[in-house]
Amino acid sequence: MGLEQEDVEKLDQIVRRNRPLHRGDHLFREGSPFQALYIVKTGSVKTYAPSEEGGEQVLGFHLPGELIGLDAIENERHNCSAKVLETSAVCEIPFGEFEELSTRIPSLQHQMYRLLSREIGHDEEMLTLLGKKNAEERLAAFLLSLSKRFKRRGFSPSDFYLSMSRHEIGSYLGLAVETVSRLFTRFQEEGLLKVERKHIQLLDIDRLRGILDRDANRGSRRQST
């Protein structure tokens, strides 16, 4: 399923490594023509859908190893904006070249299908989060997701810095800033974590998971066929 050595090299040749970006820089803006996919190497990036007067819906936070821009393939224009949250290194994969390459390397095409599919699955999970879970469960899910992703990349799963603001977390989770802030305070009081500004230490990951499972069991007394 993976790529052959030889194919990896070919892919490697079309990837562009740009100089580091800084907090506030845009990878692309909503409406701009789609030219490349981006991979975060270090740092973090948020994608968001801007609305008329400065409001925005945060669509995702992207950590090292994660791909950005998949929603732009369809109409060759970006549907959202991508902004760097901290000094970051981001690679660029010109999509035209990539697509051409993937017609010649079936396993590359396969990986791309999987990546796109994974993104859909992830979005669907978020739909359930926003559709069914309460504030507490949303924040727990968010922290556990970060934890898992840090861990996979070899960082500490229980001690990390948030590169995004409370406001951005709130937007992502469909909550008001104040609610997010209060939840951090409460989680700390309950001994679930230690929070100091952007610095988070998860003290009881199991109990955080419990918050999610508890929800699953809340379920529904109302059946639906």
Query: Can you read off the two tokens belonging to residue 120?
Result: 């859909």
Among 32, 51, 117, 185, the residue binding DNA under the rule CB under 7 A is 185
CB 175, min distance to its own copies, A: 9
137 near its own copies (CB under 8 A): no
Between CA 44 and CA 15 the distance in angstroms is 19
- Cα–Cα distances (Å) from 173 to 110, 127, 225, in that order, read 32, 10, 30
What phi and psi, each to the nearest 5 degrees, are found at residue 171?
A: -60, -45
C-alpha pair distances (Å), 75 with each of 33, 34, 112: 9, 8, 18
Which range, of 60-68, 111-119, 145-153, 182-190, touches DNA by CB under 7 A? 182-190
Site membership for DNA, residue 197 (CB under 7 A): yes
Q: Does 208 bind DNA (CB under 7 A)?
A: no
By CB under 7 A, tell whether 182 contacts DNA: yes
State which residue, 198 or 209, has the beta carbon closest to DNA.
198
To the nearest 5 percent, what fractions of the chain are helix, strand and coil?
45, 25, 30
Return the closest-CA partner of residue 213 out of 158, 135, 108, 137: 137
Residue 166 contact partner, candidates DNA, its own copies, none, CB within 5 to 8 A by sort of partner = DNA
Instruction: Pick the closest to residue 185 from 200, 171, 172, 174 (CA basis).
Output: 200
Helices (H), the chain: 5-14, 95-104, 106-132, 135-152, 166-173, 177-189, 205-218
Applying CB under 8 A, which of residues 114, 148, 198, 209 lies at the interface with its own copies? Answer: 114
Of 177, 203, 205, 212, which one interacts with its own copies (CB under 8 A)?
177
Nearest of 44, 36, 67 to residue 160 by alpha carbon: 44
Tokens of 33: 């023509």
141-180: contacts with DNA (CB under 7 A): 165-167, 174-180
Choice between 62 and 83, CB closer to DNA: 83
Nearest approach, Cβ of residue 24 and its own copies (Å): 7
121 binds its own copies (CB under 8 A): yes
Name the residues that contact DNA, by CB under 7 A.
134-136, 165-167, 174-182, 184-185, 195, 197-198, 221, 223-225
Name the residues that contact its own copies, by CB under 8 A.
24, 49, 51-57, 59, 70-74, 79-80, 99, 102-103, 106, 109-110, 112-121, 123-124, 126-128, 130-132, 165, 167-168, 171-174, 177, 216-217, 219-220, 222-225
